[in-house]
Structure 1
């Protein structure tokens, strides 16, 4: 069961569009009648050396989970994000209201601080409880047949009552099967936790919270990736550790933790 979605307040879309008109930043905060909103202007289609390398790797290794997801940019990206927000809302999850819409522009309601901000105001124990809520909520979303695309600390929120989802800019379902996309969600979530220096015991507790929702299909999509990354880490890290940054270390640590924590699950 998902938490019932709160009823949406009435938003003055014309006034919001007027406030956002002329803005240049990709994401900016605006206020109207004491409420906070976020104006989002998707830029041009993403891409670059990392996406090219990921595309090459996905062709070399037949793992759908490695296929790159690139935002289409512009109004196509804004429209796709709006559709994914509404899919989560229909399933009862806490997401922003689409307060106003114009070509290449989304204005979204504020649904509380992201988990990166929440972490700064909580004890490690209290934040661990929030992470367990986040993992359980992600699991419920997956059980509902949904995919977020990039569930990081900055793209999940907590308002003291419920976990919310932000930034549906990536659409892995466009390039991979559902099970692979959900496996990618889960792996990216724990890669983000490792990169942020979240304690391994807190990560392990969050993984336990997700486990009831783990399907055999998602585990099958995850298994070769975890084996590949964890195995590569055993070969690379003894030599690379003195020079490696968190971008390299975090996926290896996350893959090792997930491989151990999901052993025998589902």
Structure 2
């Protein structure tokens, strides 16, 4: 439990940032992130799930994963409509966009993330949406963030298979068809205990390979979410 001084400080941050989804703040020289339930207006109140429920799902998931030794941020403080976590570094998409970072370092960051995802899966867990923007890296340590997506009604194999598909899609989304960079990352995932899930994903996606030639014409002109689907299919066609 956080001490009273920290709770009071967070309460003041909440009062000063009513309605703001995510707020970065510092306390005693450490960085923390405050995340509040999204305030929905108009039709979005009916189109999106209950925002307080989403926050509670994330809180419960963080607690459960921490107890199982998963690489997640420390949950410092929470309430019915907010949570506070300790900072765990920049997200992978931020690291990849940083032109001041050497390519070798960027490659190692990606490889570390692949290994961390495999270890999460070997614990019998899943993230739900491990896109690069939902994975952080700091001093060699990978952490998974943003667990609002709930798939508790699905089998763990389904969840983990979806994880690796989302992860590969995200690699191509942010890096483009840089196969020389992406292939070692996927191999790191497979060698760290994720090969069975990768094989499950390959088996699942095989019937969808009929889209490969349809999407070929769009691989250079499609949207940022459509183009990676072609390269996702390409990956499983080319790799055994």
Among 95, 102, 112, which residue is 1:118 paired with?
A: 95
Counterpart check, 1:37 vs 2:15: no
Counterpart check, 1:99 vs 2:76: yes
8 Å CA contact 1:44, 1:73 repeated in 2: no
8 Å CA contact 1:187, 1:255 repeated in 2: no
Give the whole-Å Cα distance in 1 for the aligned partners of 2:2 and 2:236.
40
Among 179, 201, 204, which residue is 1:200 paired with?
A: 179
Give the whole-Å Cα distance in 1 for the aligned partners of 2:208 and 2:125.
25
Aligned position for 2:13: 19
**Greater RCO (Cα-Cα under 8 Å, separation 6 or more):** 1
| 1:205-231 CA-partner distances (Å, limit 9, x unpaired) | 011111132354x34642354224433
Aligned length in residues: 229
Give the whole-Å Cα distance in 1 for the aligned partners of 2:199 and 2:132.
26
Write out aligned runs for 1:1-266 (5 A). Answer: 12-21=6-15, 22-43=17-38, 72-119=49-96, 120=98, 121-172=100-151, 174-198=152-176, 199-212=178-191, 213-214=193-194, 216=196, 218-219=197-198, 221-238=200-217, 240-241=218-219, 243-261=221-239, 263=240
Shift of the alpha carbon at 1:33? 2.4
8 Å CA contact 1:229, 1:251 repeated in 2: no
Q: CA RMSD in A?
A: 2.6
8 Å CA contact 2:215, 2:230 repeated in 1: no
TM-score (norm 1): 0.76
Give the whole-Å Cα distance in 1 for the aligned partners of 2:229 and 2:135.
19
TM-score (norm 2): 0.84
The residue matched to 1:126 in structure 2 has which SS?
Answer: helix
The residue matched to 2:164 in structure 1 has which SS?
Answer: helix
Runs of 5+ unmatched residues, structure 2 = none
Give the whole-Å Cα distance in 2 for the aligned partners of 1:191 and 1:36.
30
8 Å CA contact 1:71, 1:77 repeated in 2: no
Give the whole-Å Cα distance in 2 for the aligned partners of 1:44 and 1:231.
41
Aligned position for 1:63: none
